[in-house]
């Protein structure tokens, strides 16, 4: 009975995933607003937005022994990193690294040295929002979940992640850029339904532990809603969430496992904005649940906290002319 119920749940999840993949684009086209009210959103069309963020984030991979029920966790050394961004119109480029001189980044003797490299690309095409991410980390440690002690260091353990998210913003009077990228200014309170499709591929490598072709693939789709509340013309508080259901496929040294993925993301923002200077705080919590255990899985929770500040300045006329010409040809 348990096996039958488990298979039924998995098959139902796959059917829902396929159904949502077909319904979201068609529903988006039929229900979208056609005009943006400029009293709600101020766009910095002719300005380049520069931004620096100080980020503290953590994630983990679970190791579970099905025979002994022992539970271990593989984690990178949690450190504060710096991300630089440049945004113009609908395109954003990011680059991040981890300075060793930051407070809290000097516990390598206990937890080992983690090298991180992050690239992000984001684009807005009409009401579509596309994100592409690449993350690389080398140097992890093993933690015993029962007592939180460091069991061993994994200096050669490497994790590469590539993937992205495709989202549709229904309400043109809601600005996701105002909370995520700061190249727009939300002038009046507004919310929007934002369904998303996410897809991430992760590879795991370790010569010491004989890990060569291990990987994990996540695909999830589901609804979301976000609301921007304007307290004063310069201050914003935003909160929202995405729920998703999808498929996870994990391959390790012993087996390949396919399971249903349940995803929830909660995001909060507090910020200050003006024509040139802006600053604020972003918090993001992602929770992943699987319907069966595997030897290597993402931890149930991924935490991301950021303090950012930035400045806008006028773009060169050549940039403006080229982008205007491209948008005209593309019908944007």
What is the predicted pLDDT for the residue at 270?
95
The proportion of the chain whose per-residue pLDDT surpasses 90, expressed as a percent, equals: 28
Q: Three-state SS for 170?
A: coil
Q: What is the CA radius of gyration of the chain?
A: 21
pLDDT confidence band for 88 (50 / 70 / 90): confident
φ, ψ for residue 326 (rounded to 5)? -65, -45
pTM: 0.76
Question: Is residue 245 pLDDT above 90, yes or no?
Answer: yes
Q: What is residue 1's predicted lDDT score, i.e. its pLDDT?
A: 34
- Mean residue pLDDT across the chain: 80
Quick one: pLDDT at residue 29? 41
Q: How confident is the model at residue 193 (pLDDT cuts 50, 70, 90)?
A: very high
pLDDT of residue 17: 46
Q: What pLDDT band is residue 18 in, cutting at 50, 70 and 90?
A: very low
Overall domain count for the chain: 1
Q: Which of these ranges, 93-102, 163-172, 219-228, has the smallest mean pLDDT? A: 93-102
3 state DSSP class of 324: helix
End-to-end C-alpha distance for the chain, whole angstroms: 54
In a domain, 285, yes or no: yes
Q: What is the band of 128 on the pLDDT scale with cuts at 50, 70, 90? A: very high
Look at residue 34 in the predicted model and tell me its pLDDT.
Answer: 46
Q: Is residue 17 part of a domain?
A: yes
Q: pLDDT band at residue 331, thresholds of 50, 70 and 90?
A: low
Query: Closest Cα to residue 266, out of 241, 244, 245?
Result: 241
In this model, does residue 315 exceed pLDDT 50?
A: yes
Is 150 domain-assigned?
yes
295 or 254: which leads in pLDDT: 254
Tokens of 8: 């039924």
Question: Token pair for residue 34?
Answer: 């056609």
266 found inside a domain: no
| Among candidate residues 179, 143, 202, the one with its CA nearest the CA of residue 51 | 179
Residue 119 in any domain: the answer is yes
Phi, psi of 321 (to 5 degrees): -65, -40
Q: How far apart are CA 103 and CA 123, in angstroms?
A: 34
83 found inside a domain: yes
The two structure tokens encoding residue 200: 């991430």
- Which residue in 205, 101, 221, 226 sits closest to 156, CA to CA? 205
Name, in order, each residue with C-beta under 8 angstroms of 74's C-beta and a sequence gap of 6 or more. Answer: 60, 61, 62, 63, 140, 141, 142, 143, 154, 157, 296
Question: Sorting pLDDT into bands at 50, 70 and 90, what band is 210?
Answer: confident
Quote the domain boundaries for residue 205: 2-261+281-289+308-330
Q: Is residue 275 part of a domain?
A: no
Confidence (pLDDT) at 330 = 65
Residue at 24 is within a domain: yes
pLDDT at position 104 over 70: no
The distance of Cα 253 from the centroid of its chain, to the nearest Å, equals: 28
Largest CA-CA distance found in the chain, in angstroms, rounded:
68
Q: Is the Cβ–Cβ distance between 263 and 198 less than 8 Å?
A: yes
- % pLDDT > 70, the chain: 81
pLDDT at 165: 93
pLDDT band at 32 (very low <50, low <70, confident <90, very high): very low
Please give the Cα distance from 289 to 218 (Å, whole number): 11
Q: What is the pLDDT of residue 16?
A: 46
Indicate if the pLDDT at residue 21 is higher than 50: no
């Amino acid at each position: 009975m348990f096996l039958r119920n488990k298979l039924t749940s998995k098959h139902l999840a796959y059917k829902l995933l396929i159904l949502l993949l077909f319904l979201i684009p068609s529903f988006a086209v039929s229900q979208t607003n056609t005009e943006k009210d400029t009293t709600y959103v101020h766009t910095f069309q002719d300005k380049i937005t520069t931004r620096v963020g100080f980020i503290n984030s953590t994630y983990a991979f679970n190791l579970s022994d099905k025979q002994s029920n022992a539970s271990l966790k593989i984690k990178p050394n949690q450190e504060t990193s710096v991300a630089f961004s440049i945004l113009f119109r609908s395109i954003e480029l990011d680059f991040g690294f981890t300075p060793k001189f930051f407070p809290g980044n000097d516990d390598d003797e206990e937890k080992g040295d983690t090298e991180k490299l992050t690239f992000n690309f984001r684009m807005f095409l009409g009401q579509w929002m596309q994100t592409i991410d690449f993350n690389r980390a080398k140097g992890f440690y093993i933690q015993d979940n029962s007592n939180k002690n460091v069991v061993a260091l994994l200096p050669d353990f490497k994790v590469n992640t590539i993937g992205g998210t495709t989202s549709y913003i229904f309400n043109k009077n809601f600005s996701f850029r105002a909370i995520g990228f700061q190249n727009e200014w939300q002038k009046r309170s507004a919310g929007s339904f934002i369904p998303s499709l996410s897809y991430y591929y992760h590879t795991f490598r370790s010569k010491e532990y004989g890990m060569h072709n291990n990987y994990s693939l996540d695909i999830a789709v589901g609804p979301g809603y976000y609301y921007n509340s304007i307290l004063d013309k310069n201050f914003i508080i935003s909160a929202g969430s995405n729920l998703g259901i999808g498929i996870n496929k994990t391959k390790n040294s012993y087996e390949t496992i396919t399971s249903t993925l349940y995803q929830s993301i909660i995001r909060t923002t507090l910020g200050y904005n003006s024509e040139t200077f802006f600053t604020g705080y972003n918090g993001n919590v992602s929770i992943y649940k699987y319907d069966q255990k595997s030897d290597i899985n993402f931890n149930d929770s991924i935490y991301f906290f950021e303090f950012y500040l930035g400045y806008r300045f006028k773009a060169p006329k050549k940039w403006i002319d080229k982008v205007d010409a491209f948008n005209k040809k593309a019908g944007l």
